[in-house]
Amino acid sequence: MTITMSDSAASKVKELLTREAPEQQGLALRVAVQPGGCSGLRYALYFDDQIKDSDQTADFSGVRVVVDKMSAPYLSGAQIDYIDTLQQSGFTINNPNAQSTCACGDSFH
């Protein structure tokens, strides 16, 4: 897999898994690209227990990250981070493949 995840993002994912799904084992963070958003494509991050043979997987500090084969080219070289400041809190994706992004930062082209 050619995406990366910062330690702060991995730590936050672990925290969310412990808080929101403590009884579910084997969940992975799925990162996908879907049609929509103000720029044409949007990111989707969600927990998933349905891992396909065609999915790309990687482990970042104990967090399994999964990307489907259709999303992989759009996410090549992307970095997932988690920011927690006074102005902003949440996951961010720094994607070198994005030609343009919208002001909300959730969609790209």
What pLDDT, on a 0 to 100 scale, did the predictor assign at position 106? Answer: 54
Q: Of the candidates 58, 51, 56, which has an alpha carbon nearest to the alpha carbon of residue 13? A: 58
Contact indicator for 31, 3 with CB cutoff of 8 Å: yes
**Domains along the chain with CATH numbers:** 4-98 (2.60.300.12)
Q: Of the candidates 48, 49, 20, which has an alpha carbon nearest to the alpha carbon of residue 32? A: 48
Q: How far is CA 82 from the centre of its chain?
A: 10
DSSP-derived secondary structure letter, 87: S
Res. 5: pLDDT tops 90: yes
Q: Of the candidates 30, 11, 31, which has an alpha carbon nearest to the alpha carbon of residue 94? A: 31
Arithmetic mean of pLDDT, 90-104 = 75
* Residue 62 CB neighbour total at 10 angstroms: 10
What pLDDT, on a 0 to 100 scale, did the predictor assign at position 24? Answer: 81
What pLDDT, on a 0 to 100 scale, did the predictor assign at position 87? Answer: 87
- Give the model confidence (pLDDT) of 12-49 as tens digits: 999 999 888 877 878 999 999 988 766 678 889 999 99
Arithmetic mean of pLDDT, 61-84 = 95
Confidence of residue 98 (pLDDT cuts 50, 70, 90): confident
Res. 100: pLDDT tops 70: no
Q: Of the candidates 26, 106, 30, which has an alpha carbon nearest to the alpha carbon of residue 72? A: 30
